[in-house]
Every structure is written in structure tokens, then in C-alpha cells.
């Protein structure tokens, strides 16, 4: 073996490229020289990462450093993270959990930014706050905070690398959507208000300057797409106008919206509408197709990762290009999957997802209450409960398997590897929980109406090489800092409605 180690480095590199990962890790233990040669071979680990992680369908961290700035040790740590996570998602070991407190304020909305920053909305009848924590710091300190005139009802975040944009629905007496940004100035994190959209409510999607929401001035007849930077809006109307009493009775509020490929896709309880995306259609938003959805649909989730920026081999990796996967939750708790192709057509028939039953309550059917997509779209978290038995709600994690081109969901359920999560260390899930999930880091945020914010980890936070990720907040623009407001804001609540939260 000493003769093998004495081979020229370029010859060794070619030999290593021909080995499987298992064999490579075994050979690395032979000698210090070979260990050093393998551990420092950047091209080797680039190939391993692409073959086993990207092409293998594992969860790759999107906000990693560009390969030109990363060394072999960093790329190996990304690979290790993906493999360890894959096993952790199927493990029965308790999750590592720690809690963040909000005092006596109920948590209504949580988001995880770049696997490091927890952004949470909490409120009571006296105040409403949007708070930013650094969950990688030793003391989980509060880094920034801003006050609102009412509770945060829902919202979306888009991370565009150079800026992070937030859109939230504020449940004050005068309902509105608040556009914000989060970033740093002189190394200090800030949450800043950018724009207020009066009368807008129920945020559905956010892509660049395009904001989708369901309600305007109390009217939920048709969802809206708004270019909030240019103040241009489009009303997404059905192909046949509402003209009869029966149509009015049957009309339902928009459940979900996403911007995918060249389309704006909008889901209702009785149909799916596909319209043109203004930015790719000369500024027009025209209805193209209307599709039927499973009867009894009351919850829709799109598996859309187009806005996730991934840098690998000159951006060769692209996700969500050939199909948009859609999960339909029904009022009986069943979940169905279907795919929309690049022509705007639904493929085949909906396929029922085989959600497992807990071992301690296996004789009763389960009902899926809520679904939360992972950041990369490879996993999702589901909150489910038994239909006929008074057991607490439970959480499960499942894989989302991308379909091959032209196959859609006809023959294979895209949801696989269901695993019910252990309950140890988890907060009680009776109390109107809200979730966010970064499946690439294995971090799950859970907020409850009791004021708890639970940070649950599937793997240890130090598994990634320090400094190999772009997890810092982006710098803020000077003009935004000048407009920063601080201090409490007077609450302006519609009290009869607020009592529901």
C-alpha cells in the first residue's frame, strides 16, 4: 500500500474518481498520505456532492458559498450534512429542542432565514411585535424587533441573496399588508418597513416586486397580483363572470397562489386557474386554463422552489422546471398529489398520499390538518390527528420525489418515506401551532398560541464547516436606514375579531 500512496497526485486523483463513496471512505483510512490526498481534493468532492447529493435527490443547502470560494473540507461537510440528515429524517431518536420565549404574547407566524435567523410574530391585546433571533448564537439573543398596530395573520418571505423581502398581513382595524426588509447596517441587524398596501389582506405569494393576496378592501371575490414597486395590479378573474345567485353561494376565497415558470397558478376549493405571469407576458395577466381539483379541497400547497437560488457548477442545477407539484388537502383529511406541466396542463388524475397511522392509534383513520413545505421542496412536515380518538396532534415528515418529465403523478405518489416524529421534547400541538421548516439544515420552527417558539433540530448545528455558508444577513441600503422607526406602536384592534386568535 505504500507504493500506492507514492503514485503521482494526478494518478491518485483519477483513481479516487472511479471509486464509490463507500470505497473511497475506506481507502482514506489506509494512510495519512492518502487521507490527506482525498480530504483536500476539491474536484473529487465536487463530483461526489453532485453525484450523491444533487443527482441523488438529497437535501442540498441552497445558501452555501459558491464553489469557487469553497475548499474540499467545506464541500465534504455539505455532503456529510445531506447523508446524516437523510438518516435523521427516518430516525426515532428525539429531536434536539430548545425554546425561545415571547412572554405572554401568542405566536402567530414564524419563518427561518438562511437556517440561522428566526423571524417570529407575536401579539396580545396590548402589543404586537416582529422579532428576529440568531439561533446559532450561544445565548439565542434578540437581534432586532419592530412593533405593529395589530397581529400578524400570515405572510411570505423571499430571499434574493442581495436582499430579503417580507410581506405580512396585519390584522389591525384598518387591514393592510406591510412590506419589510431585514438586513444589517454596520454589522447590526434591523427590520425595516418599506411600504404599506392599504386594504390588502391574506398574503399568498411573493416573487420579486410581485405580491399575491386574496382580499382587497374586504372583497375576496378574486385574488390580486400587485407590482408593489410600480403600483400596478391585476385582478385574477374567472373565465365566466359570477352572474347568478348559485354562483355567488358557491364562490370560495382563494386558498393558495404561486408564480411558477411563465404562470400565475391560483387554487380554489373547486378549481385551479392558470394565468400568464406579467413579467413574462408583456405586462399582462391573462387567464389561460381552468382545471378541476379533488372534491372537498380545503387546503392547497405548491411545491415550488424556483426562487431558491442554488449555485453549483455554474448554476447547472435547477429545480421545479419540468413540473409544479401540487398537494390538495381535503375536508376529510385525505391528501392528494398532482402535477402541472410546463404547458399549464394538469397531468393525469390526482394520486392519494398514503399517510401512515400512529402505532398507538392504528385502528382509526388520520386527518391531515396542516402541511408545511421544506425550503428546498425535498421534504414536507405534516400536522395530523386521529379522526375519532382524543389523542394530541402529531407531526410527520415525508419526502417529495420529483417526477420524471412526461410522467407527472400518474403512476407514482410523489410523497414517500413517511415518518411520524417522536413527541419527546416537543411543545403541545393543541395550541394553534405555526411552522416553518428548512429541510436542508434539518431545522423546524414551531410557534404556539401559548407564546412558545420551539427550535427543533434533526442534526447537530455544528455538522457544517463554519464559514462555508452564506448565512449572514445582507447589507441594507442607506436610504432604508434613514427611514427606520423605533419604539412601540399603538394597537388598533378590531376587538371582536381579535378574540379568535
- Domain boundaries defined on the chain: 2-88
Does residue 197 come out as left (phi exceeding 0), alpha (psi in the -120 to 50 range) or beta? beta
pLDDT given at position 244: 41
pLDDT given at position 241: 52
- Grid cell digits, residue 159: 430571499
Sheet holding 232-235, edge to edge: 200-207, 210-216, 224-227, 232-235
pLDDT given at position 243: 44
Helix (H, G, I), strand (E, B) or coil at 498: helix
Q: What is the DSSP letter of 219?
A: B
Whether the Cβ atoms of residue 131 and residue 159 lie closer than 8 Å to each other: no
pLDDT given at position 367: 83
Whether the Cβ atoms of residue 227 and residue 175 lie closer than 8 Å to each other: no
Residues of the chain with pLDDT under 70: 1-10, 12, 239-251, 307-321, 359-363, 387-389, 402-413, 479-480, 482-486, 495-501
Look at the alpha carbons of 315, 317, 322, 327 in this order and tell me if their dihedral is positive or negative: negative
- Grid cell digits, residue 432: 394553534
pLDDT given at position 14: 76
Residue labelled with grid coordinates 402567530 = 108
CATH hierarchy code of domain 2-88: 1.20.1280
The CA distances from residue 466 to 40, 43, 65, 77, 78, in Å, are 17, 21, 11, 10, 11
Buried-exposed string 225-243: b where 16+ CB fall within 10 A, e elsewhere: bbbbeeeebbebebeeeee
Residue labelled with grid coordinates 400536522 = 383
The tally of CA atoms less than 13 A away on the side-chain side of residue 428 is 7
pLDDT given at position 498: 43
> Residue 148: which residues within 8 A CB-CB, separation 6 or more?
121, 123, 128, 129, 130, 168, 170, 172, 178, 489
pLDDT given at position 178: 97
Whether the Cβ atoms of residue 182 and residue 119 lie closer than 8 Å to each other: yes
Spatial distance between the Cα atoms of 297 and 328, rounded to a whole number of angstroms: 6
pLDDT given at position 388: 67
Spatial distance between the Cα atoms of 127 and 269, rounded to a whole number of angstroms: 35
Largest CA distance in the chain: 87
- Of all helices (H) and strands (E), which one includes residue 133? strand 128-134
- Angle at which helices 32-39 and 72-88 cross, to 10°: 90
Query: For the chain, give me the number of helices (H) and strands (E)?
Result: 9, 28
Look at the alpha carbons of 342, 348, 350, 351 in this order and tell me if their dihedral is positive or negative: negative
The CB density around residue 347, as the number of other CB atoms within 10 Å, is 16
pLDDT given at position 466: 92
Whether the Cβ atoms of residue 205 and residue 212 lie closer than 8 Å to each other: yes
Spatial distance between the Cα atoms of 127 and 313, rounded to a whole number of angstroms: 48
DSSP lists the bridge partners of residue 145 as 131
SS3 of the chain: helix, strand, coil, percent, to 5: 15, 40, 45
pLDDT given at position 161: 84
What are the helix (H) ranges across 443-486? 478-482
Q: Are strands 394-400 and 287-292 parallel, antiparallel or unpaired?
A: unpaired
pLDDT given at position 280: 74
pLDDT given at position 97: 92
Amino acid at each position: 500500500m505504500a507504493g500506492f500512496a507514492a503514485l503521482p497526485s494526478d494518478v491518485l486523483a483519477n483513481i479516487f474518481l472511479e471509486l464509490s463513496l463507500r470505497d473511497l471512505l475506506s481507502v482514506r483510512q489506509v494512510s495519512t498520505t492518502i487521507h490527506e490526498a482525498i480530504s483536500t481534493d476539491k474536484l473529487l468532492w465536487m463530483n461526489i456532492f453532485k453525484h450523491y447529493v444533487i443527482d441523488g435527490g438529497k437535501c442540498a443547502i441552497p445558501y452555501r458559498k459558491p464553489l469557487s470560494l469553497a475548499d474540499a473540507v467545506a464541500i465534504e461537510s455539505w455532503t456529510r450534512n445531506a447523508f446524516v440528515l437523510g438518516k435523521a429524517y427516518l430516525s426515532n431518536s428525539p429531536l434536539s429542542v430548545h425554546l425561545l420565549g415571547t412572554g405572554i404574547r401568542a405566536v402567530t407566524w414564524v419563518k427561518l432565514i438562511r437556517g440561522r435567523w428566526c423571524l417570529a410574530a407575536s401579539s396580545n391585546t396590548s402589543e404586537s411585535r416582529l422579532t428576529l433571533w440568531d439561533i446559532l448564537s450561544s445565548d439565542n439573543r434578540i437581534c432586532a424587533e419592530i412593533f405593529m398596530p395589530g397581529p400578524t395573520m400570515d405572510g411570505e418571505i423571499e430571499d434574493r441573496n442581495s436582499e430579503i423581502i417580507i410581506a405580512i398581513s396585519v390584522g389591525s382595524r384598518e387591514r393592510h399588508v406591510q412590506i419589510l426588509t431585514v438586513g444589517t447596517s454596520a454589522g447590526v441587524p434591523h427590520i425595516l418597513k418599506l411600504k404599506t398596501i392599504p386594504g390588502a389582506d391574506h398574503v399568498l405569494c411573493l416573487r420579486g416586486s410581485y405580491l399575491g393576496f386574496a382580499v382587497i378592501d374586504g372583497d375576496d371575490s378574486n385574488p390580486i397580483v400587485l407590482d408593489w414597486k410600480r403600483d400596478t395590479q391585476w385582478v385574477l378573474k374567472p373565465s365566466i363572470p359570477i352572474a347568478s345567485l348559485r354562483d355567488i353561494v358557491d364562490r370560495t376565497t382563494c386558498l393558495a397562489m404561486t408564480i411558477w415558470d411563465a404562470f400565475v397558478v391560483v387554487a380554489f376549493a373547486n378549481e385551479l386557474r392558470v394565468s400568464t405571469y406579467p413579467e413574462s407576458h408583456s405586462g399582462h395577466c391573462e387567464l389561460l386554463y381552468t382545471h378541476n381539483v379533488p372534491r372537498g379541497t380545503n387546503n392547497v400547497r405548491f411545491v415550488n422552489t424556483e426562487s431558491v437560488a442554488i449555485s453549483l457548477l455554474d448554476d447547472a442545477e435547477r429545480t421545479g422546471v419540468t413540473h409544479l407539484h401540487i398537494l390538495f388537502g381535503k375536508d376529510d383529511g385525505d391528501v392528494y398529489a398532482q402535477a402541472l406541466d410546463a404547458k399549464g396542463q394538469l397531468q393525469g388524475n390526482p394520486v392519494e398520499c398514503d399517510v401512515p397511522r400512529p402505532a398507538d392509534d392504528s385502528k382509526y383513520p388520520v386527518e391531515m390538518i396542516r402541511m408545511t413545505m421544506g425550503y428546498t421542496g425535498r421534504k414536507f412536515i405534516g400536522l395530523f390527528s386521529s379522526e375519532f380518538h382524543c389523542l394530541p396532534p402529531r407531526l410527520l415528515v415525508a419526502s417529495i420525489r420529483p417526477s420524471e418529465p412526461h410522467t407527472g403523478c400518474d403512476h407514482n405518489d410523489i410523497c414517500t418515506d413517511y415518518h411520524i416524529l417522536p413527541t419527546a421534547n416537543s411543545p403541545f400541538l393543541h395550541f394553534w401551532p405555526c411552522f416553518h421548516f428548512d429541510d436542508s439544515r434539518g431545522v423546524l420552527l414551531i410557534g404556539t398560541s401559548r407564546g412558545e417558539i420551539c427550535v427543533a433540530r434533526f442534526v447537530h448545528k455544528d455538522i457544517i464547516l463554519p464559514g462555508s455558508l452564506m448565512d449572514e444577513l445582507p447589507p441594507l441600503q442607506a436610504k432604508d436606514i434613514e427611514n427606520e422607526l423605533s419604539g412601540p406602536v399603538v394597537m388598533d384592534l378590531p376587538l371582536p375579531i381579535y378574540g379568535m386568535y
